[in-house]
Every structure is written in C-alpha cells, then in structure tokens.
Amino acid sequence: MTKFKVIRISIILITAIGIQSCNSSNAEKSKMKGNNPLLEEFTDTLGIAPFDEIKPEHFMPAIKEGINTGNTEVDKIIKNTDEPTFENTIETLEKSGSLLQRTSTLLGHLNSAETNDDIQKAQREASPLITEFYNSITLNDALFAKIKTIYNQKGNLNLDVEQTTLINKIYDSFAKNGANLNKEDKEKLKNINKQLSSLSIKFGENTLAETNNNFVEVKNENELSGIPEDVVARAKKVATEKELTSSWVFTLHAPSYVAVMKYADNRDLRKKMYREYKAQGNNGNKNDNREVVKEIVILRYDKAKLLGYNNYADFVLTERMAESAPQVLTFLDDLLNLAKPVALKEKSEVESFMKKEGAKHELQIWDWSYYSNKLKKAKFNINDDDLKPYFEINQVQKGMFEIANKLYGLNFAQITNIPTWHKDVKTFDVTDYQGNHVAVFYTDYFPRPGKRGGAWMNSLKKQSLENGKNIRPQVINICNFTPPTETKPSLLTFREVETMFHEFGHGLHGMLANSHYGSLSGTSVYRDFVELPSQIMENWVSEPEALKLFAKHYKTGEVIPTELVEKIIASSSFNEGYSTIRQLSFGFLDMEWHSLDDEKIADLISVSDFEQKAMGKTNIFHKVNNDIMSTQFGHLFSGGYAAGYYSYKWAEVLDADAFEVFKTNGIFDKETASRFKENILTKGGTEHPMVLYKRFRGEQPSPEALARRAGFIK
C-alpha cells in the first residue's frame, strides 16, 4: 500500500485543513532558523533530510513558520490585481506551501516509522493547525473566484493535457471541500475536518499501542512445537526484553503472529493468538477504537451530506475509475459469485484433510492457516521452511534491483553517508543506464515498537519540474519482515518476498515519475489505479526466469532447484478462493461503513453487529465473539483507503490483464517494459488512468484475466 501523501497546497484539499495565526517577529524567526534544521534549506546536493539533527521539538516551530509562509504566498495570489491566469494563479498556487509540505511530510513519516511520545504529541498539536490552514485556503472566496475564472476559460487558454488535468483537479478539490458552500456551512465543514484529522491520529495511536502492548506469553516449552526455530528465538529475545526470562513472548506484529497461526501445533496457542490479534482496539481500555470508528464514519457522512452527496462513498468515488458505489458493489458481487464456490470447496478439502490428521474438533478460523499449510505441504510437497533458505533478504533485494535494471535500465548503489531515522534503514542512489540520477531510495524492513504494522511506500520528496530543472524524488519502502536472529540472517517467507516486490512497485511509480507538477507526479493517481504498478511487480516473484536472479540458498549460494520453482507455480493458486473472499469481505465492510444513510446511522449501536452484517455474505466460518476488524482497520480509519479498499481487487484485474502482455512477449521484453514505463510509471496522474492503460494495452482490461490467473475459470 502507499502511505498517505502530503502534497502541495493546491491538491492536499482532500484532507482539508484552515488558517491559524502564528505570527513571529523577524528576530524570533532568525533565532528559530539558527537552531532548527527544518527551517533551513537541506543543503545536501540531493536535498536529503538531516534525520540525525531533527528533534521532536523542531516540528511545531517549523509547522507554524510553514503556515505563515504559506499564508503569505497565497495572499500574494489573492491580492494580485492582474487578470487571473494559469501562470499567476494555478501554477503559483501549485508551487506554494513547500515548507509546510516538507515539514508535515517528515512529521507524518516519523509518526508512522519511528514514533515516540514526543513525536505523537507534535503530531497531535500540528494536526488542527494544518487542518485550519488548508481549510482557510479551500474556503477562501477570493481565491476560489480566481480559480473559477480560469476553470471557465480553460477551453480558450491553449493548455496542454497536464495543465488541463491540473486545473480540473484543483477546481474539483476546492468544490469538493466546500468552496461553493455558504458561510455557515463552511464553518461546519471546518469543524468536521478538524475532528476527522484528530480522530484519525487517535485511531492510529490506539492501534499502535494495542499492537505493542498486547502479546501472548508461553511458559511451557512443549507448547512451542511446530514453530520455526528463528521465530522461537525471536520470542525468547522479546521475553528477555520484557524481563520475562522464563518465557517466550509472541507479539501481534506480523512475523510473530503469522508464524504462530501457520505452524504452532498447539491449538490453544493459536486460538489465544487469534483472539488477541482480533481484539485489537476492542478491549474496553483507553485504546479502544469502537467509539472512534463510529465518530469517524458519522462525521464523514455529515461531510458528504453537507457537500451535496448521498453518502461518503459517493463523495469519494467521483474521483475513481469505478465512479459509483453501485459499480463497486457490482464488481465485488461478481467476484464473490466466482470465488465463494471455490472457497467452500477449499474449506471442505481442508476439513477432510484435518480429519485424516486425526483432529476431532470442528474446523475453526484459527485452524485455517495451520491445516491449510499442512495440506499445501501434502499436495505440493512445499512449505515456507523449504523456501525461506532461498530468500535471504539482501539477496532478494539484489535480485529485485536486477529485475528493475532489466526492465527499466535502473541501477541501485548503496549510500552509507546519508542520515536516516533508524539504524535498520538502508539508502540507495538510483541512476539510469546513462548514469543520470533518478531517485534516492530508502528501505526500512524490520518491526520495532515505534513503527506501525503493515507495509507501505511514501515519498519524502516528489518529482517535479522547477525553473526548468527536473527535481528528482526521494522514495521510501517500509515493511515489517521476519528479522534476523543471532544465528540466522533474515530469511523471508514467500509472501514476504511478494510484499517486498509489491512495495517496490509503488516505489518505481514514485522513482520513475516524470511530470511537470508535483501534485500530479508518481503515485498521485486515482486510488483504484495506484495499486497497478505495485501488484504487477508481484508476478515476477513466481516466474522461473526471475527467481534464478535472487532465489539462492543463503549458505551454499545454490540457485533454487527447478523442482521447487515448479512447486511454487503449481501451488500459486492454492486456496485462492478463500484469499479472494477474505479481501472482498474487507471491501464490503468498507463500502457499508461509507454508504451509511440516516436510518442506518440512527441504528448504529454496535460496531461488531454492524460488521457482521456487512461481511456476512463472505463468511464461511462461524462468528467468533469479539472478532472485530474495524477497530484495527488502519486502511480505512487512519490511512487513505476509505471507500477505496475494493481498489486492491480492482487493480488485480488491471495487473493480471497487463501481465498477460509480458507473458506473451517475454517477462523481460524491453519494448513491453518501455511501453509500461512510459504510459504508466512516468505519467502519474497527468491523464485519466483508463486513457493511460489503453495506451499501454491497446484496449480496456479484461476481468477474465484475473479469473484465469486465480483458477476460477479455464
């Protein structure tokens, strides 16, 4: 997934935020700049953030100064007595707010990747100020009048495609964020936006606290049967850190949780882990997110109604390929009709296998990964333990870079003298085949207490053209992979390898950007298009020709045997029906939360009951008490995927269809890769995504490609 984007004043209007008076004397400003690296230009030749100098107390002065500077820049546009033009209004607005953009991006990044109490405090303090600032811009009548004048004249201004897209996006952003409202309703919208911003931060903080604070302690070594030794070693280390020296501690971070659910022979341990994991944000403590979820969805509904939409989904989907809630629901239902019969057959097969294994109990959700993994081993004679020795993290990354070189002519050279936010972070100078600088690429791959769970891509600096110079981007990939132990390097599961390639696909979208305007650059595209570059990269992970580049035994250097590659391919669609309906369940939940009407809001009492109804049609297991997704669903409530989670499956249709071109022409075919690069990766949001896709593919995507890949149809 991509992390939220903090972008220039002209487009950040989606999270709309309003003006705060933060005047400082010249003497105070001079003093602040002398002691605050955030207020200085980043003088490194690449404009690198000095993470080794930045402290939490630097953020609020820089945020306030950024707001002051932004106010001055926007005020000049408003007070300009010349006739409004594209150049003196739209382009000037696009270029304004750079200090605030840069500072808030860094603060948001650290709050996700390496947070602490002081960073969280700074984020809470900054959020309402930033919200107020952006609100004041989007709701400024004089500024909007100038924008509207240019928008109404755009057909006579000889604008190119990117300029037309920019004016359309700016006008629509202002309109969708209340520019056409009356004064009273504008004030209502300001308050809603402030509350939403604060609640989103609160949701994320609560989720991180739940992940860090809750765990399962094992005191009897016999209960560890089946769990890989590197996971057990990590559990012992965590226990020691928590001063539980006679125990093993399994956390809710993905490498620990997934390993227990997949390998632990002890059913009670799996059940404990599952219940602990699924209860996050639903424990009745200070980190409980149930009321936060309800407040967020009600405020989003109020915002949509205020702006003239039936619900929040309608508000969001006007800027998506899917266009409307009914179209999304039809898409989800069509996939469900294909996938659910397959999922039920898969469940029946796992149940039969479980009985043959001697189990006397009914198959429950906490049994699924364990017995599915055993069945996969029995059917294909393959499991993660067989594969992990061939997926040492550095070797995988080296091969991933080589694939990018074969496809797009990129080279990655590690840099060791760039300051970072943590010792685990690695940095790379990315160049093209001619040696020209393309991007700076940061990787941060292991879990830790100050880092939220999941995987994402973000940009510290977006690509743009400024005064004829192509400003190159700084791109981050952050994941939570299996860390190394004292005796073994980091050996990845096959799914973790796919995740690395997925986030790298987002990274390439940011690195290869070549647009004029930063707000249209790289991953600044429709949400249901942004996952195409990431998801298509996953395809190379199971291609024999690609695997030979990076799947090498960490001890012997032996390339992964052909028989293992064949097993990977043969098992690639194993339990794809269940995986699909699981994803669809999240999509349905998302759409239900954001399609609320007055009657449903009035009846909204229990988050759990609401969720069960929303996901009911996808269920193939019995309901488990206290099993709630919403209270930890960061994509929806602290990320940017509200009314957009369906986009993962939507983009899978695109990526399956697009990769069939590579399969036909060759997975490293230069001409195909060039067309994908030039029409998808470099263009960002400069044109409608379907136009870009058809330019690459020659036709609209076919949903049958996904059904074929999943094995739902022949």
* Residues noted as catalytic: 503
Share of the chain residues as helix, strand and coil, in percent rounded to the nearest 5: 60, 5, 35
Can you tell me whether residue 430 is helix, strand or coil? strand
C-alpha distances in angstroms, 213 versus 287, 563, 630, 671?
Answer: 10, 43, 19, 51
> Following DSSP, what letter does each residue of 202-259 receive, concatenated?
HHHHHHHHHHHH-EEEE--GGGGTTS-HHHHHHHHHHHHHTT-TTSEEEESSHHHHHH
Tokens of 643: 């009314």
Tokens of 259: 């390993």
Closest CA to 227 of 192, 190, 256: 256
490 touches 484 (CB < 8 A): yes
In whole angstroms, what is the distance from residue 59 CA to residue 107 CA? 7
Query: What single letter denotes the amino acid at residue 213?
Result: N
Tokens of 578: 């269940």
Closest CA to 634 of 443, 506, 453: 453
17 touches 126 (CB < 8 A): no
Query: What single letter denotes the amino acid at residue 649?
Result: K
In whole angstroms, what is the distance from residue 632 CA to residue 282 CA? 9
In whole angstroms, what is the distance from residue 630 CA to residue 400 CA? 34
Q: Judging by DSSP bridges, how do beta strands 469-471 and 464-466 pair with one another?
A: antiparallel
Tokens of 304: 């949509």
In whole angstroms, what is the distance from residue 567 CA to residue 562 CA? 9
C-alpha distances in angstroms, 280 versus 78, 204, 206, 268, 521?
Answer: 48, 12, 9, 19, 36
446 touches 480 (CB < 8 A): yes
Helix (H) or strand (E) holding 298: helix 290-306
What's the sign of the alpha-carbon dihedral 443, 446, 451, 454?
positive
Beta-carbon neighbour count of residue 689 at 10 Å?
19
In whole angstroms, what is the distance from residue 171 CA to residue 11 CA? 9
Phi, psi of 218 (to 5 degrees): -115, 125
Tokens of 481: 């992979």
